[in-house]
Amino acid sequence: MLNLHLLVASYFDNLALNSTLVVNLSLQSKVEIKKNQAVRKIIIAGNWKMHKTQAESLEFVEKFKSEIENTHEAREIVLCTPFTSLTVMSKNLHGSRIQLGAQNIHWEDQGAYTGEISGVMLTEIGVSYVIVGHSERRQYFGETDQTVNLRLKSAQKHGIIPILCVGETKEQRDEGATEKIIINQLQQDLVDIDQSNLVIAYEPIWAIGTGDTCESYEANRVIGIIRQQLDNKNVSIQYGGSVKPNNIDEIMAQPEIDGALVGGASLEPASLARIANYY
């Protein structure tokens, strides 16, 4: 009997570990994994916001596909494009490893809701992720925790994985209210939400689009607090806010952080590819 006890820090790339993973191998190929933390998917998602025409979207994908040929297969890569690019992207991404994401979803399947898009419409196109409750929607378009909750339910009803965004403003952080704000958002947003079909992105508002990244250990701390609030500890929790090629390695080295939601740096193929190919 060959018994190898391997202490592994990054044995499976899709395992986010906060403690040592002990792998016990025998000649019978029996693999026993003992760990304090279960498997959580790593998800690198680009949020293009209101950027790129259809032609520009296709141009991006053509370059991006070759840049991620060697990206670890366990890493999920998602592109959340404007609604207008979803159809061409869906055709172009068919058969590739890249998942398609939308940036919003309405809670009704159809009706008199000018300017809104329903889950029925998104699933027909092949959308598998949707961003819900992004701070820009909350700040500029009147999104509330109640409507965020309805949108999350709608995504889940249609089998689309919602990426729920939570985060505090600079003023709230300066007042020492970060934890209170985030816990409050989660309590309201997650009422009757299935935590087995959910991704959360911690996005401190003051770090979005500012180049002012939250220190990775602080993002890790807040994400740990978010995880404590959840019934399902295996929910993937991303960090978002000025994620760049030059800080992704440090961010992903943090044990609680399961990926990134990337805005500005997702607009260039080489930049997003470097983020997906973090060390």
Two structure tokens written together for 49: 């916001």
**What is the C-alpha to C-alpha distance for residues 132 and 230, in angstroms, rounded to an integer?**
18
Q: Which stretch binds ligand PGA (CB under 6 A): 54-62, 156-164, 186-194, 202-210?
A: 202-210
Nearer to ligand PGA, 57 or 135 (CB): 135
Binding residues for ligand PGA, total number by CB under 6 A: 13
Residue among 254, 259, 268 at smallest CA distance from 240: 259
Least spacing, CB of residue 204 vs ligand PGA, in Å: 10
What letter would DSSP give residue 169? Answer: -
Residue 5 annotated as catalytic? no
Exposed / middle / buried, residue 120 (Cβ in 10 Å: 0-12, 13-18, 19+): middle
Amino acid at 3: N
Among 101, 162, 263, 269, binds ligand PGA (CB under 6 A): 263
Nearer to ligand PGA, 21 or 105 (CB): 105
Interacting residues with ligand PGA between 85 and 144 (CB under 6 A): none
CB 235: neighbour CB atoms within 10 A? 20
Least spacing, CB of residue 243 vs ligand PGA, in Å: 5
Among 91, 113, 171, 209, binds ligand PGA (CB under 6 A): 209
Nearer to ligand PGA, 163 or 235 (CB): 163
List the beta bridge partners of residue 259.
Answer: 43
Nearer to ligand PGA, 205 or 235 (CB): 205
Residue 76 annotated as catalytic? no
Among 242, 247, 254, 271, binds ligand PGA (CB under 6 A): 242
Q: Which stretch binds ligand PGA (CB under 6 A): 29-37, 139-147, 246-254, 255-263?
A: 255-263
**What is the C-alpha to C-alpha distance for residues 143 and 137, in angstroms, rounded to an integer?**
6
Among 204, 241, 259, 269, binds ligand PGA (CB under 6 A): 241
Among 130, 163, 182, 243, binds ligand PGA (CB under 6 A): 243
> Cα–Cα distances in Å, from 142 out to 147, 150, 197?
9, 14, 25
CB 41: neighbour CB atoms within 10 A? 17
Residues ≥6 apart with Cβ < 8 Å to 178: 168, 172, 204, 222
76, 134, 143, 158: which is the annotated catalytic residue? 134
What letter would DSSP give residue 27? Answer: T
**What is the C-alpha to C-alpha distance for residues 42 and 99, in angstroms, rounded to an integer?**
13
Residue nearest to ligand PGA (CB): 263
**What is the C-alpha to C-alpha distance for residues 256 and 42, in angstroms, rounded to an integer?**
11
Q: Which residues are annotated as catalytic?
A: 134, 203
List interacting residues with ligand PGA (CB under 6 A). 47, 203, 208-209, 240-243, 261-265
